[in-house]
Chain A
Amino acid sequence: MHLAILVFATAIPDRLVGARRRSRSPKHVFVSVFEWFGDLGLFFVRLLRSALTPPYEFRELLRQCDDIGSKSLPLIALAGAATGVVMTLQTRESLARFGAKSFLPAVIVFSMVKENGPIITGLMVAGRVAAGIGAELGSMRVTEQIDAMEASAIDPFKFLVATRVFACLLMLPLLTLAADFCGIMMGWVANTLSEPISLHLFLDSGFKNMFFGDFLPPTFKTMVFGLIIGMVACFQGMRTEGGTEGVGRSATSSVVLASLFVVIADVVLVRLILTVWG
Chain B
Amino acid sequence: MTDEALNKEHHPAIAVDGLRKAFGSQKVLKGISFEVAPGETVAVIGRSGGGKSVLLKLLIRLQMPDSGSIRIAGEEVTELNDKRLNEVRKRIGFLFQQGALYDSLTVHDNVGFPLSRHSTMPHEAQAKRVRELLSEVGMDEHREKLPSQLSGGMQKRVGLARALALDPEILLFDEPTAGLDPITAAEIGDLILRLKRKRQMSAIVVTHDVHGAKAYSDRMVLLDDGNIRAEGSFEDLQHSKDEFVCQFFGDGLR
Chain A positions near chain B (C-beta within 8 angstroms): 139-140, 143-145, 147-155
Contact = CB atoms under 8 A, between A and B. Distances in A.
Interface in B62-91: 62, 86-87, 89-90
Give the dominant DSSP class at B's interface: mixed
A152 B115 CA distance: 9
A11 B228 CA distance: 44
14 contacts: A140-B103, A143-B103, A144-B96, A144-B97, A145-B100, A148-B96, A148-B101, A150-B60, A152-B90, A152-B117, A152-B118, A153-B87, A153-B114, A153-B117
Contacts of B87: 153
A153 B89 contact: yes
B102 interface: yes
Nearest to B117: A154
Interface of B: 57, 60, 62, 86-87, 89-90, 92, 94, 96-98, 100-103, 113-114, 117-118, 159, 162, 165-166
Contacts of B103: 139-140, 143, 145
B62 A152 contact: no
A166 to B, nearest CB: 18
B98 A143 contact: yes
Contact of B100 (A144, A154, A155): A144
Contact of A154 (B57, B96, B97, B114): B114
B117 A144 contact: no
A145 B165 CA distance: 16
B49 to A, nearest CB: 15
Contact of A152 (B57, B97, B98, B114): B114
A140 B104 CA distance: 10
B113 A147 contact: no
Nearest to A154: B117
A151 B60 CA distance: 7
Nearest to B57: A147
B96 A147 contact: yes
Given A144-B96, A147-B57, A147-B96, A152 B89 contact: yes
Contacts of B100: 143-145, 147-148
Contacts of A153: 86-87, 89-90, 114, 117-118
Contacts of B86: 153, 155
Contact of B62 (A139, A145, A150, A155): A150
A151 B57 CA distance: 9
A139 B102 CA distance: 11
B200 to A, nearest CB: 21
A145 B87 CA distance: 20
Given A151-B62, A152-B114, A153-B118, A145 B101 contact: yes
A94 to B, nearest CB: 49
A145 B96 CA distance: 9
B114 A147 contact: no
Nearest to B90: A153
Contacts of B62: 147, 150-151
Nearest to B115: A152
A151 B92 contact: yes
A275 to B, nearest CB: 41
A148 B162 CA distance: 10
A61 B186 CA distance: 42
Nearest to B89: A153
Contacts of B102: 140, 145, 148-149
Contacts of A147: 57, 62, 96, 100
A142 B166 CA distance: 25
B60 A154 contact: no
Contact of B113 (A143, A152, A155): A152
Nearest to A144: B100
A143 B98 CA distance: 7
Contacts of B89: 150-153
Contacts of B90: 152-153
A147 B59 CA distance: 13
A151 B72 CA distance: 14
A277 to B, nearest CB: 42
A153 B86 CA distance: 5
